[in-house]
Amino acid sequence: DRLPSEQALGSAFGVSRGAPGVATVFITVPNGFVRVLGFDNGKVAPQSAVTDFSSRRDQDNTIVKVNGQDELYVIPDAVIFGG
């Protein structure tokens, strides 16, 4: 169940990093909405009132699904940890 690599780079994003493995990722989708995902020790937690989300690891990526299949994000480890 591999995802195309272009999905990892399909949206504009920014990141604010703290201690190793602690980061906040800001993803801007084409309609201008900004999804904020927090990471602590590499584990993801949406930063808004999202209750329907899941995440899994795939090699050097964290794959996050929000609202079922409505939003799908592939976050490379380099975004979270730097490098």
pLDDT in tens, 34-43: 888 999 987 8
- 51: which 2 tokens? 């209750």
Answer whether residue 83 shows pLDDT above 80.
no
Q: Look at the alpha carbons of 31, 46, 65, 49 in this order and tell me if their dihedral is positive or negative.
A: negative
Residue 29 CA to residue 49 CA, distance in Å, equals: 18
Residue 57 CA to residue 74 CA, distance in Å, equals: 10
Q: Which is more confident, 8 or 41? A: 41
Residue 33 CA to residue 74 CA, distance in Å, equals: 17
Query: What is the per-residue pLDDT across 11-64, written as a single tens digit (0 to 9) for each?
Result: 788 999 999 889 999 988 888 888 889 999 878 877 767 778 889 999 999 999
pTM: 0.80
Residue 30 CA to residue 59 CA, distance in Å, equals: 27
